[in-house]
Amino acid sequence: MEKILIFGHKNPDTDTIMSAIAMANLKNKLKKEAKAYRLGNINKETKFALDYFRQEEPELLEDLENSQSVILVDHNDFGQSVKNIENANILEVVDHHKISGFSTSEPLYYTAMPVGCTATIIYGMYKNKNIEIDSKIAGLMASAIISDTLLLKSPTTTDLDKKVLEELGEIAKIDVKEYGLEMLKAGTDLSDFSADELINIDSKPFSTNGVNYQVAQVNTASIEEVIKDKEKIENAMKNFISKNSQDLFVLLITDILENNSQILVAGSRKDIAEKAFNVKLNDNTAFLPGVVSRKKQVVPVIDKNC
């Protein structure tokens, strides 16, 4: 039997890791040989969730052999995927992002839904196949939804995410709110990150109309606590830009308790960020009330101004 490699995007977040694990679990229950992988280091929030439900972290995947069979979860952009993805045999994609930088030479299963989390879609796949979700997997999937929707507060949240999270919470026997806040807070401990590491915790490249830009996000319970290292962070962003030939770098510093973000902006096309958010940057920074979602509130408006 061919072995299927399942993985999410680089700079993995909780949804990417848990969705890969849940998808591998579903395939295994359907008698397929499949295994979850990660494309980078596990962040603190994800580690908290993995430890809580006693799940080992997936193995690191550095690149692919030609025509290796794979399933992509939580991404489709090859720029955010593993090395040599162009030569893989992509069997399936399960995702909730815009479709870009993606093409295959063979037909495939492609499941995309505009919901708050990939794990929400995978939950539906278990239901369709009549496969029971055990309590550990339910806990991991609940963690993914809590993470991607910021405990159902992000504007990406749909009624389906709410319903699925409630059901997963029951299977996992957790108080979703209490557990969720604890998990999100675990991800806000940025104390031992250097500025270079900080801008890479959750960072994604995009390319639109010839503009190459990067959007990174960090979660915090105190924007001031992060912004006090503004100078170091800006230097790290500038270095990143020159190393990766980027035109623009936007760092979202997101207050997960108040659901607002402060942005830090670097690059030769800062004007795009000003137009996108309709703000005047003050010393390369601006406060964006109610903005928490890169996917829904940041990338689309930047794209429109590229």
Enumerate binding residues for Mn ion (CB under 5 A).
Answer: 13, 15-16, 74, 118, 148
Closest contact distance (angstroms) between CB of 148 and Mn ion is 5
43/118 with CB nearer Mn ion: 118
Residues 18, 74: Cα–Cα separation, whole Å: 10
27/294 with CB nearer Mn ion: 294
46/262 with CB nearer Mn ion: 46
Q: Cα–Cα–Cα angle for 45, 256, 47, nearest 5°? A: 0
Ramachandran class of 85: left when φ > 0, alpha when ψ lies in -120 to 50, beta otherwise: alpha
Closest contact distance (angstroms) between CB of 3 and Mn ion is 24
Which among 210, 212, 232, 228 has a CA at the least distance from the CA of 220?
228
Residues 209, 99: Cα–Cα separation, whole Å: 15
Residues 212, 198: Cα–Cα separation, whole Å: 20
Closest contact distance (angstroms) between CB of 80 and Mn ion is 9
90/146 with CB nearer Mn ion: 146
Closest contact distance (angstroms) between CB of 17 and Mn ion is 9
Closest contact distance (angstroms) between CB of 252 and Mn ion is 14
First to last CA, the chain: 46
8/169 with CB nearer Mn ion: 8
Instruction: List Cβ neighbours of 218 (8 Å cut-off, separation of 6 or more).
Output: 190, 198, 201, 202, 226, 251, 252, 253, 254
Residues 139, 141: Cα–Cα separation, whole Å: 5
Closest contact distance (angstroms) between CB of 72 and Mn ion is 12
Closest contact distance (angstroms) between CB of 195 and Mn ion is 23
Alpha helices in 150-245 (DSSP H): 159-172, 176-186, 195-198, 223-227, 230-243
14/246 with CB nearer Mn ion: 14
15/234 with CB nearer Mn ion: 15
Q: Is 223 exposed, middle or buried (0-12, 13-18, 19+ CB in 10 A)?
A: middle
Residues 70, 108: Cα–Cα separation, whole Å: 11
20/236 with CB nearer Mn ion: 20
Residues 242, 226: Cα–Cα separation, whole Å: 23
**C-beta separation of 116 from 145 below 8 A:** yes
Q: Which residue is closest to Mn ion by CB?
A: 15
Closest contact distance (angstroms) between CB of 200 and Mn ion is 14
Closest contact distance (angstroms) between CB of 296 and Mn ion is 12
26/272 with CB nearer Mn ion: 26
| CA dihedral for 22, 15, 142, 125, sign (positive or negative) | negative
